[in-house]
Amino acid sequence: MTITPAMPYLGTLGLRKESIRTRILRTAVAGSLIGVARIVTGAEARWVGCAPSAATRIYVANHTSHADFVLLWAALPPSLRARTVPVAAAEYWNSNAIRRYLANQVFRSVLIERDRVDRRHNPLASMLHALDDGNSLIVFPESTRGPGKTLLPFKCGIYHLANARPDIEIIPVWIDNLYRVLPRGAILPAPLQCSATFGEPTRLAAGEDKQEFLARLHRTVEQLGSPSCSVSR
């Protein structure tokens, strides 16, 4: 049975086809969003277990706000930001024209229809397309927003992604304090210092089963949010 993407991914080909006016607008909007993110949150990057790298990576982070990937995206160096795309919920980002434009044109998101996942509409296909196109991914394995201080259990999608591309580095990330900046139901953000802490790269180990991998990755991300985690900048 043929596996097709659950949602289309714009990809590098789509960027090549865009007009100069569209590219200028997209760049201006992206720059404005990054500026706002830094003003409101600081968007501080803390590279604890690794350094920025041009290698294709999968950034795995906790999920507490719809602004999570904006902060992580803004915390990356510009050269990495340009080729890093978030995996996000289609039902939220396609809900109006502004969100749809941001998701598809500015962030080039891989949008997942969470209520329409089957063998013929596999979200893994779009994620693999993005990786094979030379992009890194931002993935939130909890799938839904957590309470902020603790992690919800990880869904199995990240395991299937790691199993399909075992050579790609997985970078655990802890996003701190953003759930206070834009809590559930809030419209306007409250300015507070936030950070993204990047941990040590990992991969699916040889012979490691799904539950072992998910539990280990969950612990790794959670430990980055603990007070005992040493910080280097």
Domain ranges of the chain: 4-224
State the pLDDT at residue 59: 98
Query: Is beta strand 195-198 parallel, antiparallel or unpaired with respect to 44-47?
Result: parallel
CA distances, 185 to each of 9, 180, 189, 225 (Å)? 29, 12, 11, 24
* Global pTM value: 0.88
What average pLDDT does the structure give for the chain? Answer: 86
Encoded amino acid at 168, one letter:
I
CA 135/CA 71 separation, integer angstroms: 18
Q: 60-118, pLDDT tens digit by residue? A: 999 988 889 899 999 999 999 989 999 988 888 888 999 999 988 889 899 988 766 55
Q: Which residues contact 164 (CB under 8 A, 6 or more apart)?
A: 124, 128
Positive/negative CA dihedral, 139, 141, 143, 148: negative
Q: Can you name the CATH fold of 4-224?
A: Glycerol-3-phosphate (1)-acyltransferase (3.40.1130)
State the pLDDT at residue 231: 46
CA 95/CA 170 separation, integer angstroms: 30
Q: 177-210, pLDDT tens digit by residue? A: 988 887 777 777 788 899 999 999 999 999 999 9
Q: 124-181, pLDDT tens digit by residue? A: 988 999 999 999 999 999 988 877 778 999 999 999 999 999 999 999 999 999 888 8
Q: Which residues contact 88 (CB under 8 A, 6 or more apart)?
A: 69, 103, 107, 109, 110, 111, 112
